[in-house]
Every structure is written in C-alpha cells, then in structure tokens.
Amino acid sequence: MTDPRGEAEDKLGGDYEARVLEPSPPAVTEPPFADDPVGPGEVPEGRRLVSPVSNRGHLTWNEIAEMEPDLAPWCAERWLGAWKRLEPLPASFAETREALHKVAEAIVSPARKPENEIALRYTRGGFGTPFFEDDGADCQVRVEHGELVRQRGREETREPLPDVDIAAASALGDFYGFACSALEELRAVEADGDPSLVQLWPEHFDIAFELGSEARGQRANFGASPGDEDHEEPYLYVGPWTAKVSGELWNATGFKGAELTYSELIAAQDQRQAALDFIAERYRALSDL
C-alpha cells in the first residue's frame, strides 16, 4: 500500500509529524474531496513538523537531509529536499507526454470519485488522483514511471502503458515533482494571498494553483506545463487573470503572461532557486499593481 505521509513518518522514526507533496490516505469525503499534503494542520504538543515547504518554527525535509545524509536520496526521489537536478529530456518525451495526457483524461481522472471531481496531483514518478472512497475503501489511480497503478485499500495492480517510454515518463514525473515543490513553496510563503490547492488539470496536463487578490486585479495562475501546441518543451508560467501586464517580465508565447522554458531552467546553476525567483518576482509585480 502506498501511503506517502505514513512512509515519511516511519522514516523519521515516529519522532515528528510529517508533510509531503503527494496525496495520502484516508480519503477526504467532503469538499474539496482531497487532502492538502503540505497543510500544517494539527501538530500535537511536544512534536515538531517536518515539511517540504517553509513553515515557521518547524523543520524542512532539506534540513533533515543535511542533518541525516542517509535520508538525502529518499528525499530527492520524492522532491522533498536535497533536490536533484532536472536533466535534458529524452528524445521520446513529446510522444510519451501525448500518450500520458490521453491516459490522464481517459483513465486516471474519470476513476476519481465523486465523478464530477477531475483534478489530479503530482505523485512519485508521475501523477494520480487524490485518495477517494469507493465502497468504504481508500482508492487511488496513478501513473508511476510509465505504469498504470490501481490501489484499493492495501492491494494494488500494475500494468504497462502502450506508447510510453519509461525514461520519458520518469522525466515527466520529475518535472511535475520539481514544479510541485516550487509552487507549494510560494503557496506557503504567500499564504495571505488566498492560495488555492496545487492541482494537476487533465485537460491541459499542467500543474498549477491560483494566488493573489481577485478584487484588486492581482490574481493569477502559477503553474508548470509539460509542453503544448505553442511550446515544444516544458515551461513554468504565470498567467494573470485580469491584470494588463507588459514589459520584459511578461514574455509568454500563446498567452498573456510570463514563462520560463525548460532549456532556461536546466541551464541554471540552482534550478529550484531559478524557479522560485521566476514565480515570486511575477507575484510581487502583480501585487504592486
């Protein structure tokens, strides 16, 4: 059974409360029908929280990885800390991305309950549903390193997917994990901006959330796309809802906003900081309008 939060707390030896980037059981049976993986929630007295994002007064997984180097590879694989670098994409990436986009729309998203809830999440090695309840069981459907995984309670089945290259599928999962880490950090730091949940939308296959005052015309989508008809490669983006933006900060192709291409991202000495600087600078620019 996959239980990312439970696994994380086991790694910590039961001494801390843990938060991760992936959905965990139990299923949430009331709106929004999904957990908030990084939400601090209730922390029992006398215990500290370990989180992938900055939560005042608590520890980050990156700090844990520095204190306990043996945990660094485990953290890196899940994009919690000790972050690995994104690498150049396999030649099969575009073909695999298109195949998995169809899987997200036709198989993974329709499996989620309630049936009108379509949003997905980053999961290790790919993407999947939040945990949902079906006949009393906690269930999840996800794609993990190119395999379709159906989990029901403690049981799971796996099957390979056609037209999917494992290396390319893993690269897609890493891009989503990288993006989720950066987006959740902005969401945590700018909690006063009424942020929505970070979700992966099957229609466009991007991972994103909303942030900023709608009344002041400052609200925008902050996200990451694995590529589309206007972009051959993945990119990070900021898409203002109503603000009229112009100038060198707002350089997007195919929409009014800003983008940071995958090529620019992987060329950066500190990729994660480059991503955080990109989205934070645009958020500040919108906040100053």
Most confident of 43-47, 70-74, 189-193: 70-74
Query: Model confidence over 12-59: pLDDT tens digits?
Result: 987 789 999 999 999 999 999 999 999 988 888 888 899 999 976 689
Tracing tokens 């799971």 back to the chain, one arrives at 156
Q: Smallest Cα–Cα separation from 176: which of 236, 260, 136, 221?
A: 236
Two structure tokens written together for 198: 């970070």
Entry pTM: 0.97
Enter the DSSP assignment of 34.
Answer: S
Q: What pLDDT sits at residue 44?
A: 84
Q: Lowest mean pLDDT of 8-22, 84-98, 206-220, 224-238, name the range.
A: 8-22
Q: What pLDDT sits at residue 113?
A: 95
**8 A C-beta contact, residue 74 and residue 56:** no
Q: Which amino acid is it at 57?
A: G
* Number of Cα atoms under 13 Å in the Cβ half of residue 196: 17
Q: Residue 170 above 80 pLDDT?
A: yes
Mean pLDDT throughout 159-164? Answer: 96
Domain ranges of the chain: 4-77, 93-166, 172-287
Q: What pLDDT sits at residue 57?
A: 66
Mean pLDDT throughout 240-253? Answer: 96
19-36 b/e with 16+ CB inside 10 Å = b? bbbbbbbebbeeeebbbb
